[in-house]
Chain A
Amino acid sequence: MTQTDAIADVTVRVQVVRREHTGLMLVALVTLAALIILVALCAPVLCPYDPYAQDLSSALQPPSAQHLAGTDRYGRDLLSRIIIGAQPSVFFTLLLVALIAITGVTVGVLCGWKGGRLDVVLMRVSDLFLAFPGLVFALAIAGVLGGGMTNAVLALAAISWPKYARIARGLTLGQKNEPYLDAARLAGCTTAQLLFRHILPNIAGPILVTAMLDIGTMMMELAGLSFLGLGAQPPMAEWGSMMSDSRSFLQTAPWTVIAPGIAIFVVVMVFNLLGDTIRDYMDPKRRAGRRNARSE
């Protein structure tokens, strides 16, 4: 074996190991994400204490065997509030991502498919939204709409859909003149069939990856709005608002801030890594590599 062959062999082995690593990582992260969603679903059963029950005589207790994450200024068990807080934090984030993905894709596919004036008008509208600094614009909208998770979701949705519209439009334009669509047309497919049966399935991959990557970001932004008092309202347990409520205790009772902070950190990291891993896994080059590996 020459030196060149040896290097090539090592390179192939490294690629194989990476592919396997990506696969394992994906399984692990999907499991973790599923676990987080499961915890959110079963939160009321999993809470060791009533997350809303105040006991002022036990206020600001540090973590102990009785209260694993300590208690807040109202004497409420922090672990229970973090568990129940997974519900608004996770579900509102998923709702938000679904909302912006559906809105953006609808607009993008329409623009890409129809073109003309509709495309020009809608894309300029999306430019208008993209021209503002995102979170500042969301703050303004949430400020006008008032506090509450629903309004926070609407505010973030208003600023986040153009990204999906841009991606979906570009992908639709790419698919629009593909020969398989001409074949489908000749076979008698209606416009709706063309869009739903052929275009959408073919552009779904990159959009799914973008949505997965956005989960972490949106969770942070929702927590940010709650931290600023524009998201969850008392007494709702939501991680961002829990941090905000306790920030004056950062030096005297740090666990009240650290506990929800860790929850946000872990969940955002899991969904971000999941998005990255799905992107890697669906990378066409890697998919080709996997096919080659299988044929070998």
Chain B
Amino acid sequence: MSPRPMRSPKLPPAQHKRPPLIWETVILVAIIIVCVFPFYWMVTTSLKTHIVALEAPPAWIFEPTFNNYSEALFKDGVLRTLFNSLIIAICTTCLALILGIPAAFALARFEFRGKKDLWFWFITNRMVSPIVLALPFFLIAKNLGLLDRHITLILIYLTFNLPIVIWIVTDQIRGIPFELDEAARLEGASQFTIMTRICLPLAMPGVAVSAIFSFIFSWNELMFGLILTRNDAKTAPAMAVSFMEGYNLPYGKIMATSTLIVIPVLIFALLASRHLVRGLTMGAVK
């Protein structure tokens, strides 16, 4: 007897056959629809003209237009903000890896005083609300003349990316047998060599997963992008929000911009979905 979905408690508990597959199929299809439907709606709305988008009740069949896309991309400058987001997300991810991997290695392999506290401090950063940092960071960036620069976002995004990298990679390295290190040490390898030559290749899945997470979180970030940029370094989510003038809500264009922002990250996440699940596992299940 296998467990039954919790949502069908009416079936008798002591059934000997498996509950009919049809139920399972229905539930699975329902899950898929719930997950995917909002995206379907986003994409179709983005292909509607302004008037069709405001039709009540909403139209399911209509003549699609790509005007929203061309307008958003080329007239309103969404293309540039997508590019900004891409640069920022890639740079901050690389930086988080460069800084985080050695720290993760130390946390996994070395014994030192205050290790627990250090680990705890790293992880706590992940919990801090960005608004706590956004206010003072804005003032500091202002004083240093760093407003509206890519580097500012690249640095501030470390506050959530570094903890992710450290959390996941520490776990991953801890799973690598210590004997490998010791064997290498007997041959005179330095800790740095052990990290780069032995642990890193074996920890690659964890590194990849944390990189994916960093990228997705950075790409999706809104509040810092909104407060710390104005023009040159404006990110795509900040751009999407800026169409929301109370005078006129161009929903078609807003959805087109949303689609442009979301589609790359979805493709990325789908390609890496197996690792994504593994990443969650590593971060979560010890």
Q: Do A and B bind each other?
A: no
